[in-house]
Every structure is written in structure tokens, then in C-alpha cells.
Amino acid sequence: MSVFSRLAPRLQEAIVARLGWSSLRPVQEQAGETLLAGANAVILAPTAGGKTEASMFPTLSMLVEAAPDGVGALYIAPIKALLNNQADRLGLYTEMVGLRRFVWHGDTDDSSRRRFLKDPAELLMTTPESLEVMLVSQRVDEARLFGDLRMVVIDEVHALAGSDRGAHLMSVLERIARHSKHDLQRVGLSATVGNPEAILDWLQGSSQREARVVDPPKLSSRRQLLVIHRPELTLLAKDAAQLAQGQKSLFFCQSRATTEKVAETMRRAGTTVFVHHSAVSKEERLLAEETFNRGTADGQGACIVCTSTLELGLDVGDLDRVLQADAPDTVSSFLQRMGRTGRRDGQAANTTFFCESSESVLQAIALIELAKQGWVESVPLQTRCWPVLIHQLLTMALAGGGISADDAWAHLSLVPDFRGIERQEFDRLIDWMLRDGGLRLASAQLVLGPKAEKRFGRKNYMELFAVFTSPVSYTVVTSAGQPLGSLQQEFVDRLVDGVSSFLLGGRGWVVIRIQHNDRRVVVEPAPRGKQPTWGGYIPQFLGFEVCQKMRDILLSSTAFPYLEEQATAVLEEKRESIQPLFQSRCAGIDVRDGELRWWTFAGGKINATLRYGLEAVGGDWKITTDNILVKAKGEGITPERFQDAIQRLATPEIWDDAKLWKDVAESLPNYRLSKFQDLMPDWVEREVVSNYLLAVESAQEWAQRLL
């Protein structure tokens, strides 16, 4: 019996009459079989492969056959834009079977929320942070709202798993699960992930249901790939403008600064350009998305220049091309982005890489070759997520007017992201937070202490509901009051009234005045703009496998047909400089002008670990690293002395040495990885920072390879 025939008759009729479908796709058949059997699942399919329907049709069928009292299903997305993008589609699906959906996020107005709480829709679409708000809000009756909740669908699950936001979501779901009379059925949707079984185990949480991965065979499809090298960003953008002319394309950039510069250059070259990143105003982003969905007025196409904001599932209609400035960090991102194309019959999925450096040419080749082998990164999961454990302690203490340490532990110990934390460590944290003022005791209950009250008490604790920091930002507006986007305060602090100019939305703006009282920057159009210094300084590491593939490419003589002439030339030049180094006795080590360079190709995290270890055992050596290279400077440094130091790092005992760890801990940068670091004891903060920067076991194994 087909899955379609097992769906509720009302849904079957609507699929045929309203959607015009005559059959389901393989992923929808397999997912339907799994979900109707009551199993938890991770559903894998390419972008636009039908994952949404694969999860929602069985969900709606169950809700139609037995109407819920309150919310029957949750659809959770990692970003508001994805919720908004899916609102019409899921609104159609619920409406055509006589059900309702409601979208709740930070932009939902208060009157709509009140109507929903009075008469809940069967399907609630929301984000992890908005769920937290509901659980803390005095006006939300969680037991009534979620008492008959049956299904939770998490879109783009790979974007949450292994992250602080994923740990937050799993904790919130466990809190909600206590109110439901059902064992919540959990479904994760993903286009690209290398370890779906591990993701599924993480998603299970406390659920006792059977669990299955739904991963139907992928149909082979044509791909058109091109890697172009130009030595300057302006030249790249001009070439991209020519390629994008008359077509609908997305141009992905690795930073907001690059996005703005590329957009300005393309616009000057005559291309219709929209800019889409997290600092562009909501109105501008929606305009870009809507224009793409319906097509430009002149029919000449356009290009959205964007960061990863358009990587996650947002539907901007049929695309002709995906363009990429330099290369993304992962195979997963590359496949997600390329998957935006090739949806029409006869069209090939395509990506054109515009690379400014020889390193980005090499990185693009590595991503392509790994993808051709069928390899995709695994999502690294965590079991000692201290920042979110602290966050959840605070929100549970706030939500219930206080909570006992035993009750808090009973809940937190169910969350997969906290499984590696022992009860005695938890008690040690509680004792420290009580002394430090993050918590206090009131009638044997943990409540927010004065330090947490001062840090998070403003605006009814709104800053507490999200695990990520909400930076202070200034709204950029024209003199007529039109919102253009936002700027971070540290950037605004460097602006001067009537003098400074910057780029935003791909256009140049000159500052008229800065209004600190209402955090506004009033601007007017400028003929040319300066590139703003967006972003932070926390390093972004390339993975081990990508870097090793880069090494293999350099040490081979393989020709790659998708390289244009200049890209081929820079690859050959790179090969000529690297290959001799690996033919010597000290493979991969080069000494010049008092500097030793070790070409590890081990990835940023392993190299960073080697750096701190070498600085601890090497005396006064100055070590710097990137994703493929370790550099060492110091008086009398030789390959022999360097190898002696590496040999020490190759032994397990050295990493157990208390003095070495003290030296390493003192040399770690004071990165602000979490807004809850101020509430952490030193021993927790060191672990959080070192876990982000270091990979001791992998570095030790890598050091052994040199011996």
C-alpha cells in the first residue's frame, strides 16, 4: 500500500485538486512510511528535494484524523527569514485541509500573539528563542498550549546540531515535553550532513520512539563548475557582472565587507543588484527575495549579493547561476549553495568560483573534489555545553519563580549536549554562581542573583532568552527616515559627522549626523564609499579533511578541467613551490631567513593546538599558524630542534603536564565566545575557550606523523 493511500482522505483530495500532484517523490514515500509508523527521523534530500512535504504531509494527516487540543505540531527553523519564507507554503497546506498555522517570532505583533494564545492554531511555526519566551512568559499557559503536542519538525537541523543554539533547542524541547501527554515525535530535515545517525541520536533526547534515517538514493545530475582567478576583488566583481547579465543569480561572499564591495562594483557595471546580509534592513532583504520570486520588471534578471543568509532553505525562485567569491569553508556549504540551481528541466546545477588568491583556488578545487567523492562534513556534536547549561539554569529559575538544584539537574541531565557533565561538576558550578552573584537562594530555590539581574534584567529579560549575544547596533536611516540597515557600535564609534562615509546595501553613504540617544545614523547618498570593517576577530578554522585534500592536490599532477587559464597557472605555480619541500628528509619543513615553516595542511584547530604546545615547550619561540601552516621564529631554530619539540608533543604524557596546561591557558586569547562568560568560573571559561581553539588528541596524533 502506498503512503499516499494511507494519508487522510481529505489530504489526499487536496494534494490532487489543489496541488495537482499525481504521485509523491521517493523521499516523501519513505518519510511517510517512517513517520506514519511513529518513528523519529532525520530526513535527507537536496535543496528543493521535497523535504518539507515529506515531513508535513504525514503530520497534517495525523492532525486531521485526530484534532489536537491546542498546538499539535511545531515547525522550528533556525532563522526568522526561513519561517517567513515557509509561511505561505505551510499556510496553504494547513488551509486546504481545514487547519491553521501561526508564525511566532520576534516580529510577530502582540495582538496576534494574544489571539493565538486564546485560540491556538494546530501548527505553530517558530524559532528556539521564541519557544523560550513562551516558557518564561507569565501569560502563556504551557500545559494548555502544549498538552496535546505530538510532533516537532526541525528544518535545517544541521545548522543547529552541535551548536549552542542546538543545545538550547534540545533543552527547551525537553521542558515542553514535560507538558505533553505524548512522547514527542521528532523530525529533522537536512540537505547535507555527513553523520545523520549521530544527528538522529542527538535529536532523540529523552524520546523512547524508534528512530530511522530517511536517505533515498540520490539521482545523478549534471553539474557545471568553473573556477576563475583574478588578482583583485574589483576585477572579479566586473567579470561576475558580465556573467550575471540578463540572468537570475546569487553571488555568495564570505564576509559582509566583501558583499558590500562586490555589490557596489557590480552596480557600477550596470547589473541590477540587491544586497542580502544580516545587517541589511528587513525591508531591503524582503525586497530582494520578493523581486527574485516574481522576476524583475524589465525581465533582464538581477543578482543578489549575499552572505550565508541565503544558504539555509530560503526560496528565491528558479535561479540561473550561483556565483561564489573565493570559496566557502565546507563541502556542505558548497553543496547547499550549488543546490539553488538545476531545478528546471534541462538545467544543470552550477557554481562559478571567483577566486582572488591562489589559496582560494586551491580550496575551491578541494571542495569540488571531495564533493565528487561523495564526502560531506560530519556535524561535531557536544556533550559539555557549559554556556547553555548556565543559560538554562537562569531561564528556568526565572520561569518558575525559582527552581531547586535537584529539579534543575533532573531536567538538564536529559539533554544530550550536557551528558558529559557530571553531577559533582554541576554542584561545583552552582556553588560558585551563588558566591559570585549569578544565582541566589530564596526558600531553598535557585533564583537570579544580583549579577545576573544587572546583566540581563533590562527590557523584561529579553536579552536572556537567546543564547547568542545581541550586539548594540545603530539603525541607519536616510534624512527622510527610510531604514537602510544597521551598524555595530564599534564601527559607529569611528564615524565623524559630515566627514565619514561607508558602504551599506551596496551603495555609498555619507554621515550627516549620529544620534546616540536613539541609536541612529542619519545619512545621504555619497558618490563613492569606503569599505566598512565588518565582523569580529574570532578565527574561522578549515577542517582537517579539506586541508588534506588541498595537500593532495598540490602534490599531484592532476589536471582539473573546470579551471580557467589563470586558475590553472596559479595552481601550477603553487605546486612548483610546494612539491620540492615534500621530497626532502624533513618533509614539509622549510627554513628561510631565520623562520621555520611547517606545511602541515592539518586544519586551523590542530595547528592552533600545536602552536600553544610548541610555545610552551619551545621556550622563547614565536609561533604563528593558519589552516595549512605553522611558522616558528627564534634564535638558533633548526629543523632538528623543531622536530625535538614536536617529538615531545607526540607523547601523551606531555599533555597531562599541569605546568604545560597552565602555560597554554595563560596564552589563550580572551575570546568572547559566549555572553555568559561573565557568569563562568575560571575553570569553566578555560574549558570553553580551549574546546573552541584546541584539538589536543588530534594534534598529538598529527605530531606523531612527523616522527
Q: What is the 3 state secondary structure string of 253-316? A: CCCHHHHHHHHHHHHHCCCCEEEECCCECHHHHHHHHHHHHHCCCCCCCEEEEECHHHCCCCCC
For 66-71, the CB contacts below 8 A with 24+ separation are 67/122, 68/122, 68/148, 68/149, 68/150, 69/147, 69/148, 70/120, 70/144, 70/145, 70/146, 70/147, 70/148, 70/149, 71/120, 71/121, 71/122, 71/123, 71/124, 71/145, 71/146, 71/148, 71/149
What is the model's pTM? 0.84
Exposure of 87 by Cβ count < 10 A (0-12 exposed, 13-18 middle, 19+ buried)? middle
Beta bridge partners of 44: 190
Residue-level pLDDT at 420:
97
Residue-level pLDDT at 529:
43
Work out whether strand 595-599 and strand 349-355 pair parallel, antiparallel, or are unpaired. unpaired
Residue-level pLDDT at 539:
60
Running DSSP on this structure, what letter comes out for residue 212?
Answer: E
Residue-level pLDDT at 533:
40
Residue-level pLDDT at 641:
85
Residue-level pLDDT at 39:
98
Per-10-residue mean pLDDT, the chain, length 707: 91 94 92 97 86 96 96 92 86 96 91 95 95 89 96 94 94 96 97 91 96 87 91 88 86 83 87 72 69 59 76 64 92 88 77 94 97 93 96 91 94 96 98 96 94 84 71 78 77 68 76 80 72 46 94 96 96 95 81 88 92 80 90 84 85 76 70 82 86 84 75
Residue-level pLDDT at 615:
83
Backbone angles phi, psi at 503, to 5 degrees: -105, 140
